[in-house]
Amino acid sequence: MTDGPGRCLVMGILNVTPDSFSDGGRHDTVEAAVAQGQAMVAAGADYVDVGGESTRPGAERVTAEQELRRVLPVVAALARAGVAVSVDTTRSQVAAAALAAGAVLVNDVSGGLADPAMAPVVADAGVPWVLMHRRGDSRDMYARARYDDVVAEVRRELCRRVDAAMSAGVAAERLVVDPGLGFAKQPEHDLALLAGLDRITDLGFPVLVGASRKRFLGALLAAPDGTPRPADQRDRATLAVSALAAGAGAWGVRVHDVAGSADALRVLAAVGAARRGQPA
């Protein structure tokens, strides 16, 4: 699972939805989505993460049938083009269909809690499974953003999800964990998790960090009158988080702007290789 190019990987976000928080509706035809996925690969994406259901705060669920209609044609077309596709879903039905269409990784923002049948699907397929931390769902997650020590609690809750996945037959080497920035987290929690990311990476599992354009960056970069920085103007801040995450040992970052993070992470990897006396 961790074999790769010797650097933090880049997962490009491809939302084929009308209502995602920063790019909803931009790639809601198959042609537009496939073109965007291919552009991400050309810009340096290692994976393209295709999602057909918004997880923004307050989002209502779509039906499995609607999610499948959005996701499958895009997954299949990108896979045929040789793209390493991950599917961003909490439904085992969608994951199974996407894997059959050529996806090679399942990114589950519920950490396996939304659908108990997800673990057998992933175990049978033998693909990597990203287990993200969250509490509640999009409708009530901020009401559950209460922590005494957010890093310790997220770490502990991720361990529970890992234990449950392995008990269900998923191989340990196929698991990736994600601290879930922005999911049941207030801005101060997100910053604390980034500051304590080494306490997540020391669990021994690959760690995916998804900070791209998130609310805490908008709050951090707010205008003098308190107006948050708009989502589409948070890519430079996201790039800083990508570099911080790589420095803390993250396996990958999940971003909208692939080119910036891909370039930065390659520079960091080259400097690290030079420090170790290895060829870049």
Q: Enumerate the active-site residues.
A: 214, 254
CA distance 54 to 250: 25
Nearest to 239 by CA among 219, 216, 259, 220: 259
What DSSP string describes 97-116?
HHHHTT--EEEETTTT-S-T
Nearest to 27 by CA among 45, 59, 50, 47: 50
CA distance 111 to 125: 17
41 contacts 5 by C-beta, under 8 angstroms: no
C-alpha dist (Å) from residue 235 to 39, 61, 184, 255, 264: 17, 27, 22, 9, 13
Residue bearing tokens 């909803």: 24
CA distance 210 to 180: 7
CA distance 222 to 267: 29
Helix (H, G, I), strand (E, B) or coil at 261: helix
96 contacts 142 by C-beta, under 8 angstroms: no
